[in-house]
Amino acid sequence: MTLISPDFTRLWFGQAVSSVGDMVFSTTLMLWVATVLAKDESWAPAAVSGVLVAGGTAVLVVGPIAGVFVDRWDKRRTMLGTEVLRGGLVALLAVVSFLPADALPAGVWLTLVYGTVLLLHAAARFFAPARFTIIADLVTGDADRARAAGITQATSQTALIVGPPLAAPLFFTLGVQWAMLFNALSYLVSYVAIASVRVAPAEKAPAGASGPGKAPGPRTGVVREFVAGLRFFGRSRFLVALLVFAVIGQFGVGALNTLNIFFTTENLGMSAKLFGYVGMAIGVGGIVGALCAGRVVQWIGARRTTWVSLLVSGALLVAYSRQTGFVAGIALLILFTIPLTVLNTAMAPLLLSAASAEYRGRVVAVFQPMTQLAAMVAAALSGWLAGTVLRDFDGSVAGVRFGPIDTIIAVAGLCILLSGLYARGALPDTETAEDGGPDGSPAGEGTAGEPAGPAEEAAPRAAAVPSPAPPRRGSTQ
């Protein structure tokens, strides 16, 4: 079976195996910390949350600067190196975990866990933009790029469905060590897949020259190159527009992720034991959306798909906030996830169209930390509002009652709607953009911030990119 191209198929296979391994690993860590390392301790919830904080910290601290080095280094070697590092880290933790739990103090165990997660996520900040650029010559055209991004999204959603149910039996039957070794083996599979991909070397550009398919000119220092990347990003109105509505939309999604457990149990009357069906519903919606995204982009274009998806998903989230029954709530959650996944897929060719080859790593390195920060702020803000300011809120409008949780989720839906309206005005319906590059040159000429003509012609040849949304919770890739 070939997906788009043989080389892309190999990368996809490596990602599929590695994604399942990541979900098994992240779920195993949660179970290990909660049921063994911090068992019966009052600080157990904080210990579990520390795993998420460690991953988020790596994204925020390492992410912005990683793009500079990725733009400098050989992309294939960077990917191979990160797989060796990540596989080795997981294997080392697996070996240490063969020790009895009481062989080391709980603080030492948690330090090992947090340190491993931090380093895994830090390495992933190099892997993601390198993958973004290394497949730039494997897929061409907005429709195929969206299709490639859709396949990637569907694979991640499938891993979300398959990984956690596989992790629990491995953990409770065989032990934490074997679940970790499973993930280490998945990195080996990914390494072999990447090594089998044939990548044409970048053409060397003259000193100071730049452009798609050419290596950047003389290096001027990490700080200067980082600042140059920020200037490139900031001077492209198109990239700034993409980031603004991605951040606004992330505020809405972040609030839902934080409060959905309370909404489903309090507003939908669902038993906490059935909360696993919520994750399954999101996974199903994600798979459907990912598989449909390529056709939708081909039908109405990447730009129109982006703002339409935001408007539809925002309206569906508002509708979800008004539900009081389990079945209707789950159905709307599936429907909400479909356009949201189509959105993430449609943004891939847009981001590729706006990023010149020598700035791709830094463009991704701006997107991921900013959206991760938005998600963290949304989580903290929504949790604080629900627990303090709106804790006893009980109001009604035209006979419709509003409580604290459903009100926050409704406002989250309105945030996504607002981002859709902003995107509608900021992104033209046609597949062209009028802005010039950061140095005032016409778009499409070397340092251009936006394409001058049809995206599939002006953009550097590229494939699916990491979603502008933050990494999946607990994921290390």
Q: What is the pLDDT of residues 337-365, one digit of tens each?
A: 899 888 877 777 777 677 676 777 777 77
pLDDT digits (tens, 9 = 90+) for 187-205: 999 999 988 887 665 544 4
**Beta-carbon contacts of residue 351 (< 8 Å; ≥ 6 apart):** 239, 242, 363, 364, 367, 465, 468
CATH value of 228-458 in 1.20.1250.20, 3.40.50.10420, 3.30.420.340, 1.20.140.10: 1.20.1250.20
The CA distance from 148 to 11, in Å, is 11
Structure token digits, residue 81: 């190196």
Sorted by where each begins, the domain ranges of the chain are 6-198, 228-458
Q: In this predicted structure, what is the pLDDT of residue 142?
A: 61
**269's tokens:** 């009357």
The pLDDT, as a whole number, for residue 136 is 64
Pairing verdict, β 400-402 and 395-397: antiparallel
Q: Residue 372: pLDDT above 60?
A: yes
Q: What is the pTM of this model?
A: 0.62
- Strand 214-215, strand 395-397: pairing: unpaired
Residue (of 386, 403, 385) closest to 394 by Cα position: 403
Which pair of tokens denotes residue 431? 């597949």
Task: Evaluate if residue 207 carries a pLDDT over 70.
Answer: no
Nearest Cα neighbor of 5 from 148, 195, 202 is: 148
What would the mean pLDDT of 375-380 be, rounded to a whole number?
Answer: 77
* Residue pLDDT, tens place only, 211-266: 334 444 455 677 777 788 778 887 888 888 888 878 887 777 778 877 787 788 88
Contacts of 41 (CB under 8 A, 6+ apart): 47, 106
CA 35 from centroid of its chain's CA atoms = 28
* Residue 199 structure tokens: 């990548």
C-alpha 22/C-alpha 185 separation (Å) is 11
Q: Tell me if 2 sits within 8 A of 145, measured CB to CB.
A: no
At 465, which amino acid appears?
V
The predicted pLDDT at position 216 comes to 47
Topology of domain 6-198, CATH: Growth Hormone; Chain: A; (1.20.1250)
- Region 316-328: what's the mean pLDDT? 90
- Whether 283 and 457 have beta carbons less than 8 Å apart is answered as no
Q: 203: which DSSP letter?
A: E
Q: With cut-offs at 50, 70 and 90, classify the pLDDT of residue 399.
A: low
Percent of the chain exceeding pLDDT 90 equals: 12
Question: Of the candidates 400, 147, 475, 73, which has an alpha carbon nearest to the alpha carbon of residue 297?
Answer: 147
Average pLDDT, the chain: 75
How do residues 101-132 score in pLDDT, each as one tens digit? 888 888 899 999 999 999 998 998 888 878 87
Is 6-198's fold the same as 228-458's? yes
